C-alpha cells in the first residue's frame, strides 16, 4: 500500500468530488486564488489595522486633541478599505470553491453556525464604523460612548478572522472531521492561534506602511489638520510600528511552522517560507535607516521597502498554498479514485436498473395488469380498495363514477374539492390520454 496513505486514519471520510471538470487548468486557478486572495487580505489588513490604530489614537486623543484629529483622519480610510475588502473577497471565494470544493464546504458545514454568523456580525461592524465616522461631531462631548462604538467594531473585526482561519485550517484535516462537533472544537485544533497572531501582526505592519504613505504623501494637507504633530513624527511612528511587528514576526513565524501538523511540511514549504523571511530583511534594514537617519530622508527608501515586503507577502501566501497542496495530496488522490469508481458504478446501474417496483409498496414478483400498474404508481399512495387512506376507497369511486368515464377522467386531470375533512387531491395532467383510459377502465372494474 502507498506509504503516504498511512498518514491518514481509518476513520477519515473519503467523500466523492464533484464529477465535473475544472473550468480552467488547475495551475491557473491556483494563481488566481493566490493573487486574488492577496488583494483581498491586504484590504482586510488595512481595515483591521486601521480600526485598531484609530482606537488607539482616539483614546490618546482624550488628553491630546491632535490625536483625536489623527484618529478622525485614519477613520475615514476604514470605511473605504472595508468595502474593498468585501468585494475583493468574492474572487478568492470563487476560486477556493472550485479548487477545494469538498474540503471548503465540509469545513463550512462543520462550523456552520459561526460561519453564517459572519454575515450579520460583519454587517453590524460595518454599520458601527459608519456610525462612528458620521457621529464624530455629534458625539464630541460624549467621548466615552463614541469610543465604545469603535471598540465594539474592533472587537468584531478581531473575531471574524478567527472564524475564517478556523475554517481554512479545518479543511486541511479530513481526519479530524469525524471528531469535530461545532466551531469551538475546530477552533482549538493546533495552529489556529499562532496563525491568528501572525495575521494580526501582518495587519499592523501593512497598515503602518499604508499610513506612512497616506499621511505622508505630498498632496495630503497635513499642516492644515495638525499643528503640534509633524509629518515626520507620524512617519517615524508608522515605520517604527511596521518594523517592530515585523521583528516580532520572526518569533511568531517559526512558532507557526512548528505547530503545523507534520503531514504537509516538506522541504519545498520550508524553502518558500525561508525565502519570504529573507526578503523581509532588507525592508527592515531600510526602515531602520529611515527611523535613525535625517528627518528629510525618512521617505527615501519607501518604494524599496514596499517592493521587498510585497515579495515577502507573495512568498508567504505561496507557502500557505504549498502546505495546503502537500497536506491534501494523498487525500485528494483517494478522492479522485473513489469518484471515478463511483461514476463507473453509476453508469453501470443506469444500464441495468433494478426491476421497476422494487422500491414501491408492491411485491415485484406478482405480474400486474397495465391499468393496475398506473394505479400503483400514481394513486395507491392515497387510495386503497376499501377504507380511507388519504382519499376515499376505490369502491367509493366506482359507486360515484360507474357509467361516467369522462367525469372520472376530468376529476383525475383536475380534481375539485368535495370532502371538507380531506386534504386537496393533486391533479395528474401529465398522464397521457391512453394511460388515463386504461386507468379508468381498471378503477371501474374493481368490485
Partner 1 sequence: MDFPMFHLDWLNDRFLIAMIAIIHVFINHGLAVGFIPYITWLEQKGVRMAGTSSITNSEWDELVYRKMKVAFIITTTLGAMTGVGIWFSAGLISPSSIGSLIRVFYFAWFVEWLTFVTEVVLIMIYFLIWKQSNRSLKAKIRHIRFGWFLSVFSWITMCIIVSILGFMMDPGNWNTDHSLISGFTNPIYLPQLFFRTPTAMVLGGVFGMLLTTLFTARNAAWRNTALKYGARWILCWAPVSLVAAIIYYKAMPEAMRENMSTAVGTMEFAQYYDLLRYMIPASVSLVAVLGIATWIRPRAIRMWMVLIPCVAAFGFLGIFERVREFIRKPYVIGGYMYSNLLREEDYPLFKRDGLLKYATYATAGKVTPENKLSTGRDVFMLSCSRCHTTNGINSIVYVFERLYGPGKPLDENSMAAYIPNMHNGRTYMPPFPGNQEELGALVAYIKHLQLTGESLEGAQSAGVTVNPDNNMNLAEHITDTTQSK
Taking the complex as a whole, the smallest distance from the CB of residue 244 to ligand HEC amounts, in Å, to 56
Q: Which residue is nearest to ligand HEC (CB)?
A: 391
**In this structure, are residues 211 and 239 in contact, taking their beta carbons and an 8 Å threshold?**
no
Binding region for partner 1 (CB under 8 A) out of 121-129, 153-161, 238-246, 398-406: 121-129
The answer to whether 442 contacts ligand HEC (rule: CB under 6 A) is: no
Beta bridge pairs of residue 383: 388
Q: How many CA atoms lie within 13 A of 266 on its CB side?
A: 13
Residue 180, contacted partner among partner 1, ligand HEC, none, CB below 5-8 A by kind:
partner 1
DSSP 363-399: -TTS---HHHHHHHHHTTTTB-SSSBSSS--HHHHHH
Q: How far apart are CA 161 and CA 67, in angstroms?
A: 28
The answer to whether 425 contacts ligand HEC (rule: CB under 6 A) is: yes
Task: Specify the residue, 11 or 402, whose C-beta has the smaller distance to ligand HEC.
Answer: 402
Write phi, then psi, for 60 (nearest 5 degrees).
Answer: -65, -30
Binding region for ligand HEC (CB under 6 A) out of 168-176, 211-219, 346-354, 421-429: 421-429
Task: Specify the residue, 277 or 412, whose C-beta has the smaller distance to ligand HEC.
Answer: 412
The answer to whether 123 contacts partner 1 (rule: CB under 8 A) is: yes
Binding partner 1 by CB under 8 A: which of 41, 168, 180, 408?
Answer: 180
Write phi, then psi, for 388 (nearest 5 degrees).
Answer: -80, 135
Taking the C-alpha atoms of 395, 396, 401 and 406 in order, what is their torsion angle to the nearest 10 degrees?
-90
Beta bridge pairs of residue 388: 383
Q: Interface residues for partner 1 in 384-443 (CB under 8 A)?
A: 389-390, 421, 423-430
Taking the complex as a whole, the smallest distance from the CB of residue 360 to ligand HEC amounts, in Å, to 13
**In this structure, are residues 280 and 236 in contact, taking their beta carbons and an 8 Å threshold?**
no
Residue 206, contacted partner among partner 1, ligand HEC, none, CB below 5-8 A by kind:
none
The answer to whether 130 contacts partner 1 (rule: CB under 8 A) is: yes
Q: Interface residues for partner 1 in 323-382 (CB under 8 A)?
A: 333-335, 337-338, 340-342, 345-346, 348-350, 353-354, 358-361, 376-378, 380-382
Q: How far apart are CA 174 and CA 253, in angstroms?
A: 25
Listed residue (157, 155, 151, 162) closest to 86, CA to CA: 157
Q: How many CA atoms lie within 13 A of 362 on its CB side?
A: 20
* Residue 174 CB neighbours (<10 A): 24
The answer to whether 240 contacts partner 1 (rule: CB under 8 A) is: no
Binding partner 1 by CB under 8 A: which of 49, 50, 61, 89?
Answer: 89
Residue 5, contacted partner among ligand HEC, partner 1, none, CB below 5-8 A by kind:
partner 1
Q: How far apart are CA 95 and CA 244, in angstroms?
A: 34
Residue 418, contacted partner among ligand HEC, partner 1, none, CB below 5-8 A by kind:
ligand HEC
The answer to whether 35 contacts partner 1 (rule: CB under 8 A) is: no
Listed residue (274, 210, 264, 196) closest to 242, CA to CA: 210
Task: Specify the residue, 21 or 296, whose C-beta has the smaller distance to partner 1.
Answer: 21
The answer to whether 116 contacts partner 1 (rule: CB under 8 A) is: yes
Binding site for ligand HEC (CB under 6 A): 378-379, 381-383, 390-392, 397, 400, 408, 411-412, 417-419, 422-423, 425-426, 428, 439, 443
Amino acid at each position: 500500500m502507498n506509504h503516504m496513505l498511512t498518514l491518514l486514519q481509518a476513520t477519515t471520510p473519503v467523500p466523492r468530488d464533484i464529477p465535473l471538470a475544472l473550468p480552467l487548468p488547475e495551475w491557473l486557478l491556483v494563481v488566481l486564488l493566490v493573487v486574488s486572495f492577496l488583494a483581498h487580505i491586504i484590504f482586510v489588513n488595512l481595515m483591521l489595522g486601521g480600526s485598531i490604530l484609530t482606537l488607539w489614537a482616539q483614546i490618546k486623543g482624550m488628553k491630546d486633541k491632535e490625536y483625536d484629529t489623527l484618529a478622525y483622519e485614519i477613520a475615514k480610510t476604514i470605511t473605504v478599505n472595508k468595502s474593498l475588502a468585501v468585494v475583493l473577497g468574492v474572487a478568492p471565494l470563487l476560486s477556493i470553491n472550485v479548487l477545494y470544493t469538498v474540503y471548503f464546504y465540509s469545513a463550512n458545514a462543520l462550523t456552520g453556525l459561526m460561519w453564517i454568523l459572519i454575515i450579520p456580525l460583519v454587517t453590524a461592524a460595518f454599520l458601527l464604523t459608519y456610525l462612528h465616522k458620521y457621529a464624530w461631531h455629534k458625539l464630541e462631548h460624549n467621548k466615552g460612548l463614541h469610543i465604545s462604538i469603535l471598540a465594539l467594531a474592533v472587537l468584531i473585526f478581531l473575531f471574524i478572522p478567527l472564524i475564517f482561519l478556523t475554517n481554512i485550517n479545518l479543511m486541511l484535516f479530513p481526519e479530524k472531521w469525524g471528531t469535530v462537533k461545532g466551531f469551538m472544537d475546530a477552533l482549538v485544533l493546533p495552529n489556529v492561534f499562532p496563525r491568528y497572531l501572525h495575521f494580526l501582526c501582518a495587519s499592523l505592519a501593512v497598515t503602518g506602511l499604508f499610513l506612512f504613505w497616506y499621511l505622508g504623501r505630498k498632496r495630503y494637507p497635513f499642516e492644515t489638520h495638525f499643528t503640534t504633530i509633524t509629518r515626520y513624527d507620524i512617519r517615524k511612528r508608522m515605520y517604527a510600528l511596521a518594523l517592530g511587528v515585523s521583528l516580532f514576526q520572526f518569533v511568531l513565524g517559526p512558532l507557526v511552522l512548528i505547530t503545523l501538523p507534520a503531514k504537509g511540511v516538506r522541504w519545498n514549504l520550508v524553502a518558500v517560507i525561508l525565502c519570504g523571511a529573507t526578503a523581509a530583511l532588507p525592508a527592515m534594514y531600510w526602515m531602520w535607516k529611515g527611523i535613525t537617519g535625517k528627518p528629510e530622508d525618512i521617505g527615501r527608501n519607501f518604494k524599496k521597502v514596499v517592493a521587498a515586503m510585497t515579495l515577502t507577502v507573495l512568498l508567504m501566501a505561496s507557502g500557505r498554498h504549498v502546505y495546503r497542496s502537500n497536506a491534501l495530496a494523498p487525500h485528494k488522490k483517494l478522492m479522485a479514485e473513489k469518484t471515478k469508481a463511483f461514476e463507473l458504478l453509476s453508469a453501470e446501474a443506469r444500464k441495468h436498473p433494478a426491476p421497476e417496483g422494487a422500491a414501491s409498496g408492491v411485491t415485484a414478483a406478482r405480474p400486474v395488469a397495465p391499468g393496475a400498474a398506473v394505479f400503483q404508481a400514481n394513486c395507491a399512495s392515497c387510495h386503497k380498495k376499501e377504507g380511507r387512506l388519504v382519499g376515499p376507497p376505490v369502491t367509493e369511486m366506482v359507486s360515484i363514477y360507474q357509467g361516467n368515464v369522462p367525469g372520472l377522467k376530468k376529476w383525475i386531470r383536475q380534481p375539485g374539492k368535495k370532502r371538507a375533512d380531506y386534504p386537496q387531491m393533486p391533479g395528474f395532467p401529465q398522464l397521457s390520454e391512453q394511460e388515463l383510459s386504461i386507468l379508468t377502465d381498471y378503477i371501474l372494474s374493481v368490485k
